[in-house]
Structure 1
């Protein structure tokens, strides 16, 4: 009865089930890498990749290929994951990597924590627990951390109203859905404003190309090794809002950094600012696509990927 009451109240407030994107969920997907073939695709990066790529659209266009999202929200560069794929698997398909000029320069270990967890802690018991947890979390709203019973009853007791639902949702394949229609307008506006710096400071002044590129050298060895065994790498710079890009391009104009940098790394690349069809989306929080734009954006990005990496669309 308590569970039914909890769920009824949460649904009445438009809360929704969501999978907890923890290290075990990452490992449950990462464990599929050894079974991938040369035609399959892995998407690496951070939250922009999780919110921007629609796997349903990928499957519709490439019904005979698999795609995995191994991007990790809020954990910096995907370099540790790419390096581990190169060094500890035989995968030789396509890797699409979401990075920025700033994150390319880092060897941050944030994403390495999840990879180590997969190698050392993701036991059979944890795999079974993760499978059961995923089913439960996709079924019951109160297991969503943003919609917990504690938050529900705390809000009812303290404020005498139902808690406001969160506007993001994670799926079992690690896609994230961002529905800005569910967001509180003032909170969303404040978030967007906080992400756009007002002025250039000494810490984000324009570096020279040589200074910047020297900090990306750690990518060269794993990229070369992956390419030698037949793998394909493409870096993508995913969209940001026009306001944020106006600031970022003052620091890293793509023609002076991204394009020559990708040439030096010997990889294909796509920068959203170079393609009108990728740069016209509205991003209310400055950084992530709305779920209603995921399919369209994915179709357009796949069209660019097909041109760059010999991935012809198999089913339009």
Structure 2
């Protein structure tokens, strides 16, 4: 029996209406209009193909043109909105961009200086300043919110890497475990990147990123919606996201966004985000607390093993603790004391380290949101850090990069 929504009933209704009006059509010889699709009941005893859905004639050219104009208007409005907010076009710090820099070691720059760590290494050490001092630009492989354990192990297992290694150490290395962090997907991208991903990255860096201010993950519509002050469900803790902090170049040289220096409201929002993610966050559960000593020991063992491989191959490894101030520094020192983290790391690895608390020239810089340096201060800090490496660790300028 045909369903109440089948087109066979529609056909019968149309035929009856035509007959009632004196027309010659009957239900037996009714022909469907072109826009009514055929159904299984129209083909008894015949294998049923995919249903035919005839599309009535439409002014497709004008429809396409209207959709294109609407798209361009909406995109222009979105771009205008974020430029008015203070954004400018910048290169994205994507997994693909990280992979491009990592592949420089595979393509003949294995003797370069490599920077590992998290967001402080990413923003506090300025590649152009370093290049001016040393004659050669380092390879920036730091990833925000991510421990350096995995890339450290990858470099230890890579015989092509024979250069120098500066590794940023934060409390998160000991809190999150060896493989923890927000950007671990970059390591998988490097191992498994396919042709379509490479092409997509090439197109993005040449056609979109240099020209569009809104082309940043923080400005994506879905993330903007999540940031709104929605009512919280009972028993569900809020999950604050870190706002945009940096602007970058094609080779991942990042500076703190100057909006944090000039916009008190935005700075307060970022500071509030750090507080909710760290010292105002719910404390670890007893089960999580019980796992921490084992996670820290496993992390230390992995780092010790990787450093031993690198040093056996002649790679100079130096750890660095970049500055933090205010509540952020107090939180780190309380949750992961220096004696249980930094001092233990140097003792177990046997590698040298540079801790900002031990050097007056690495102190006194402006960190607007307590964790990353303002752009001008990062330039001065890079000079001071490089001079320490020269003076105490013999970091003379390396040979020029191969052409």
TM-score, scaled to structure 2: 0.64
The CA RMSD over aligned residues, in Å, is: 3.5
- Quick one: distance in 2 between partners of 1:188 and 1:107? 27
Q: Do residues 290 (structure 1) and 358 (structure 2) align?
A: no
Is 1:241–1:282's contact at 8 Å kept on the other side of the alignment? Answer: no
Structure of greater Rg: 2
Query: Which residue in the other structure is 2:268 paired with?
Result: 186
Query: Structure 1 residues 217 and 128, CA, compared in 2 at 3 Å: closer, same or farther?
Result: same
1 or 2 for the larger relative contact order (CA 8 Å, sep ≥6)? 1
Which residue of the partner structure matches residue 23 of structure 1?
A: 95
CA drift of 1:181 comes to 2.4
Which residue of 224, 227, 233 corresponds with 2:308?
Answer: 224
Deviation at 1:222, TM superposition (A): 1.5
For the 8 Å contact 1:28–1:127, the answer to whether it is kept is no
Tell me the matched-pair count: 297
State whether residues 174 and 295 of structure 2, in contact with CA within 8 Å, keep that contact through their aligned partners in structure 1: no
Shift of 1:66: 3.4
CA distance, structure 2, for counterparts of residue 305 and residue 190 of structure 1: 35
1:234 CA drift (Å): 0.8
Unaligned runs of 5+ in 2: 1-68, 225-242, 399-403
Deviates further, 211-220 or 229-238: 211-220
Dislocated runs of 4+, deviation >6 Å: 149-152, 198-205
**Whole-angstrom CA distance in 1 between matches of 2:339 and 2:139:** 30
Distance apart, 1:202 and its partner CA: 8.0
Aligned to 2:384: 300
In 2, the alpha carbon distance for the partners of 1:198 and 1:129 equals: 39
Greater CA drift, 40-49 or 272-281: 272-281
What does residue range 116-131 of structure 1 map to in structure 2 within 5 Å? 116-123=188-195, 125-131=196-202
Following the alignment from structure 1 to structure 2, what is the Cα–Cα distance between the partners of residues 252 and 211? 13
> How far apart, CA to CA, are the structure 1 residues paired with 2:297 and 2:129?
35
In structure 2, the residue matched to 1:138 is: 210
Matched with 2:65 is none
Q: Which residue of 2 aligns with 1:155?
A: none
In structure 2, the residue matched to 1:36 is: 109
Find 2:151's aligned residue among 75, 81, 103: 81
| 1:246 matches 2:330 | yes
Alignment partners' CA distance in 1, 2:338 and 2:312: 28
Cα 1:276–1:311 change in 2 (3 A) is: same
Q: Say if 2:207 is the partner of 1:107.
A: no
* Equivalences for residues 247-266 of structure 1 within 5 A: 247-254=331-338, 257-266=341-350
Relative to structure 1, the CA distance from residue 89 to residue 23 in structure 2 (aligned partners, 3 Å threshold; closer, same or farther) is farther
Q: Over residues 88-141 of structure 1, what are the superposed CA-to-partner deviations in whole Å (9 max), with x where a residue is unaligned?
A: 342011111111244147212545532222121243x43233122112312222
Which deviations, in whole Å up to 9, do the C-alpha atoms of 1:46-102 show, x marking residues without a partner? 111111110000110011x3311111112x211101111111342011111111244
* Structure 1 position 92 matched with structure 2 position 162: yes
In structure 2, what is the Cα distance between the partners aligned to 1:196 and 1:151? 21
Contact in 1 for aligned 2:125/2:378 (Cα 8 Å): yes
Per-residue deviation, 1:9? 5.4
